[in-house]
């Protein structure tokens, strides 16, 4: 049963509309929804909800849940390696995009030259669904711990709130591991970071190249997000709090991947990691906003689910500890977000 839940939630293709993760009801289920209406019958084995995951946490305990979480983190690290390979294939074009985001004509021309855009976005969606499932498992474990050993969980929560005060990375990692074992969600994934550390080169010149690749990965994400509007499955369902193809999960994917990459790859040895992550996320926000605003006047396929994709930029900001709505307002009009929310609501009425 536990393996079946993991397989159903993470191994079926999240972009194929076979299943959908609903943020509103915290449930993963087979997608039997078309034009806002349920079709067919839903089998009990075709969904998993918080109650099932709490039962799973009761059965497996902290060690069993940690085994599943670590296995999923390894899957994420493999997906990130594939993303970095796609970045290397498009390295020159991404460098140009990073420095010319105010030149709309050049941006359009260079973006069109990028290869494997759909593959890149698909892998981001896969990562996002895995992370959402990880966090659902952790919330289930926290619920069980709260009911079983509240006296043990209370001091761990106190330590959880002080993770960022430790400057030593090894101490942070140990504390995050402790919190994770109790079901508390931290700002970064220790297992993911350790797997990424294995690929960090020792040569200083190659180290900087790897750091630049990480920066370009966020550039790639920023300039390709508008292409999600072409997909008819990018339609947003307000009742379920998500897109049919799990595009909404990209918000967590961007934040978790960026944090992990820049916890591991820094520009200088003595660089402040929190400041580095914040700077790269602000750069991502500027590029993504510019890319999305360029499709604002489109009338072709890019206008199909434009409003649904506009909502994604707001989600990314909400889920980031380094971005604020004030920063978003400087590069993306908030009135567009309000209009997009109203538009997706009207579409299903």
Please answer whether residues 259 and 187 qualify as being in contact, where contact means their C-beta atoms are separated by less than 8 angstroms.
yes
**Looking at 76-90, 97-111, 261-275, 329-343, which range is the least confident one?**
261-275
Distance between CA atoms of residues 219 and 83, nearest Å: 12
DSSP 211-247: HHHHHHHHHHHHHHGGGGGG-GGG-EETTTTEETT-G
As a whole-number percent, the residues of the chain with pLDDT over 90 amount to: 45
Please answer whether residues 59 and 38 qualify as being in contact, where contact means their C-beta atoms are separated by less than 8 angstroms.
no
Q: What is the pLDDT of residue 90?
A: 95
Angle at which helices 306-318 and 250-264 cross, to 10° = 40
Q: What is the pLDDT of residue 262?
A: 92
With a threshold of 0.85, does the pTM exceed it?
Answer: yes
Q: What is the pLDDT of residue 171?
A: 84
pLDDT confidence of 320, banded at 50, 70, 90? very high
* pLDDT at residue 302 greater than cutoff 90: no
Distance between CA atoms of residues 155 and 207, nearest Å: 39
Looking up tokens 């499709």 gives 295
Q: What mean pLDDT value characterizes the chain?
A: 83
Give Cβ neighbours of residue 329 (< 8 Å, ≥ 6 apart).
Answer: none
Please answer whether residues 311 and 337 qualify as being in contact, where contact means their C-beta atoms are separated by less than 8 angstroms.
yes
Backbone angles phi, psi at 42, to 5 degrees: -105, 120
Instruction: Please give the average per-residue pLDDT across 191-205, as a whole number.
Output: 86
Q: What is the pLDDT of residue 223?
A: 94
* pLDDT at residue 299 greater than cutoff 60: yes
The CA-atom distances, in angstroms, between 273 and each of 164, 188, 193, 328 are: 11, 12, 13, 22
Distance between CA atoms of residues 249 and 255, nearest Å: 11
- Model confidence over 8-59: pLDDT tens digits? 555 545 555 556 677 666 555 544 444 444 434 445 555 577 888 898 899 9
Please answer whether residues 177 and 69 qualify as being in contact, where contact means their C-beta atoms are separated by less than 8 angstroms.
no
Q: What is the pLDDT of residue 42?
A: 46
Distance between CA atoms of residues 137 and 333, nearest Å: 36
**Looking at 112-116, 240-244, 317-321, which range is the least confident one?**
240-244
- Model confidence over 131-189: pLDDT tens digits? 988 999 999 999 999 999 999 899 999 888 877 766 778 888 888 999 999 999 988 89
* pLDDT at residue 84 greater than cutoff 60: yes
Q: What is the pLDDT of residue 340?
A: 86
Residues in the chain: 349
- Model confidence over 244-266: pLDDT tens digits? 888 899 999 999 999 999 998 87
Give Cβ neighbours of residue 37 (< 8 Å, ≥ 6 apart).
Answer: none
Looking up tokens 């004030």 gives 326
Q: What is the pLDDT of residue 15?
A: 52
Distance between CA atoms of residues 134 and 111, nearest Å: 33
Instruction: Please give the average per-residue pLDDT across 186-214, as a whole number.
Output: 88
22 - beta bridge partners? Answer: 27
Q: What is the pLDDT of residue 39?
A: 37
Instruction: Please give the average per-residue pLDDT across 61-76, as a whole number.
Output: 92
Backbone angles phi, psi at 183, to 5 degrees: 90, 10
CA neighbor of 195 nearest in space, from 252, 135, 257, 271: 257
């Amino acid at each position: 049963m536990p393996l079946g839940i993991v397989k159903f939630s993470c191994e079926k293709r999240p972009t194929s509309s076979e299943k959908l993760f609903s943020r509103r009801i915290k449930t993963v289920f087979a997608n039997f929804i078309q034009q806002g209406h349920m079709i067919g019958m839903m089998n009990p084995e075709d969904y998993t909800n918080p109650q099932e995951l709490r039962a799973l946490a009761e059965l497996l305990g902290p060690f069993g849940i940690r085994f599943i979480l670590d296995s999923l983190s390894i899957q994420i690290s493999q997906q990130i390696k594939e993303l970095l390979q796609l970045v290397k294939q498009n390295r020159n074009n991404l460098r140009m995009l990073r420095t010319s985001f105010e030149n709309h004509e050049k941006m359009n021309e260079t973006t069109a030259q990028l290869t494997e855009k759909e593959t890149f976005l698909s892998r981001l969606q896969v990562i996002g669904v895995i992370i959402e499932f990880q966090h659902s498992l952790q919330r289930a474990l926290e619920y069980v711990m709260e009911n079983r050993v509240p006296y043990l969980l209370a001091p761990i929560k106190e330590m959880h709130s002080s993770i960022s005060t430790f400057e030593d990375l090894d101490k942070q990692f140990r504390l995050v591991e402790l919190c994770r074992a109790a079901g508390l969600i931290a700002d970064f994934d220790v297992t993911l970071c350790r797997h990424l550390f294995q690929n960090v080169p020792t040569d200083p010149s190659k180290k900087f190249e790897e750091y630049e690749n990480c920066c370009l990965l966020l550039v790639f994400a920023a300039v390709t997000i508008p292409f999600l509007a072409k997909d008819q499955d990018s339609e947003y369902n307000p009742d379920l709090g998500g897109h049919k193809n799990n595009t909404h999960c990209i918000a967590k994917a961007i934040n978790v991947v960026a944090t992990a990459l820049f916890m591991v790859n820094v520009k200088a040895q003595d660089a402040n990691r929190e400041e580095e992550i914040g700077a790269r996320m602000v750069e991502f926000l500027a590029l993504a906003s510019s890319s999305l605003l360029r499709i604002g006047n489109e009338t072709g396929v890019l206008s199909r689910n434009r409003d649904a994709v506009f909502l994604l930029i707001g989600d990314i900001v909400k889920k980031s500890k380094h971005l604020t709505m004030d920063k978003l307002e400087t590069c993306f009009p908030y009135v567009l977000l309000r209009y997009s929310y109203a538009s997706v609501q009207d579409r299903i009425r």
